[in-house]
């Protein structure tokens, strides 16, 4: 009887902890879940991470797993993944686009840092946190869509993203002015402007360089305020009137050299 139980115990242990390789991927198994831990330096082109390995779900991309895999141009992350580790894809200089699937809840510090060919990012609605320097120096990044569940964005998350021209922030943030200001400060630490809507809209859009688009009811007024430093008081710059089409475009660098702008609602 004792020998039978010993065999069963060994069988359970061997199925709950292990490691192996699959193509260019190295992985480990623990507690019935698979984590991708490394990728071959020779990997190139399009790479698809399977949602299961050895019949078990792939739930995480480990820290530095794909770091400096410079020949990968596309990576598909399965919906089974819930976390992306520290610097998981950092230095993937040929990676042009990536979609963060709905299952992911956290993006680690520096996860996509120095992905210099990355042009667009879609962050799924399940993501709640974006780590520090997560997209640090993604110099080709032009647009980003932040999902509805994001509640925290780390310092320097988008530092050095000099090509960034638009960002879509979920409607939930419209009623959280301080949260919006925090996001913009971390996107552009050297200065920001805060677009807003006189009426509620599905998206809050930011366009660079220094151009503000306000939407709202026809003939509604909005006050734009400016300051040279966040430590100084805000001062009224100009009052604008929403046009007949329900929007107005303002060049923020016209007639002022102030670095910070906001709309008083």
Report the CATH number that the domain containing residue 50 is assigned in CATH.
Answer: 3.80.10.10
What would the two tokens of residue 5 be?
């139980």
Residue 106 and residue 128 in contact, taking contact as beta carbons nearer than 8 Å: yes
Four-residue CA torsion sign, 226, 227, 231, 233: negative
Model pTM greater than 0.85?
no
Structure confidence at residue 224 (pLDDT): 80
- Domain, as residue range, for 213: 192-265
Residue 190 has pLDDT above 50, yes or no: no
Total number of domains in the chain: 2
Structure confidence at residue 113 (pLDDT): 95
pLDDT in tens, 124-167: 788 888 899 999 899 998 888 887 788 777 887 888 887 776 67
Same domain assignment for residues 14 and 131: yes
For residue 208, the number of C-alpha atoms closer than 13 Å in the C-beta half-sphere is: 17
Residue 59 DSSP symbol:
E
Structure confidence at residue 2 (pLDDT): 42
Please tell me the chain's helix, strand, coil percentages from 3-state DSSP, rounded to the nearest 5. 10, 35, 55
Same domain assignment for residues 132 and 226: no
Q: What percent of the chain has pLDDT over 70?
A: 70
| Phi–psi pair at 249, nearest 5 degrees | -110, 135
Tell me if 225 is assigned to some domain: yes
Residue 117 has pLDDT above 80, yes or no: yes
Same domain assignment for residues 146 and 51: yes
For residue 233, the number of C-alpha atoms closer than 13 Å in the C-beta half-sphere is: 2
Same domain assignment for residues 29 and 157: yes
Tell me if 236 is assigned to some domain: yes
Report the DSSP pairing between strands 235-241 and 204-207: unpaired
């Amino acid at each position: 009887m004792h020998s039978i139980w010993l065999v069963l115990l060994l069988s359970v242990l061997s199925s709950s902890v292990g490691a192996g390789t699959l193509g260019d991927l190295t992985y480990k198994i623990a507690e019935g879940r698979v984590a991708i831990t490394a990728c071959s330096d020779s990997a190139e082109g399009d790479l698809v991470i399977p949602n299961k390995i050895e019949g078990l779900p792939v739930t995480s991309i480990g820290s530095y797993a794909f770091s400096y895999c410079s020949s990968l141009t596309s990576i598909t992350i399965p919906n089974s993944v819930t976390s992306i580790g520290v610097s998981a894809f950092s230095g993937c200089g040929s990676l042009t686009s990536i979609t963060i699937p709905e299952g992911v809840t956290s993006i680690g510090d520096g996860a996509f840092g120095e992905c210099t060919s990355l042009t667009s990012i879609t962050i799924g609605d399940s993501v709640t946190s974006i780590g520090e320097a997560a997209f640090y120096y993604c110099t080709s990044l032009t647009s980003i869509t932040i999902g509805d569940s994001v509640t925290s964005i780390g310092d320097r998350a988008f530092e050095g993203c000099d090509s960034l021209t638009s960002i879509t922030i979920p409607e939930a943030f419209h009623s959280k002015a301080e949260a919006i200001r925090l996001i913009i400060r971390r996107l552009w630490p050297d200065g920001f402007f805060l677009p807003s809507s006189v009426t509620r809209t599905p998206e809050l859009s930011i366009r660079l360089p220094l151009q503000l688009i306000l939407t709202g009811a026809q003939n509604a007024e909005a006050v734009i305020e400016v300051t040279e430093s966040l430590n100084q008081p805000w001062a009224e710059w100009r009052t604008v009137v929403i046009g007949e089409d329900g929007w107005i475009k303002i060049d923020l660098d016209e007639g002022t050299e102030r670095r910070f702008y906001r709309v008083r609602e």
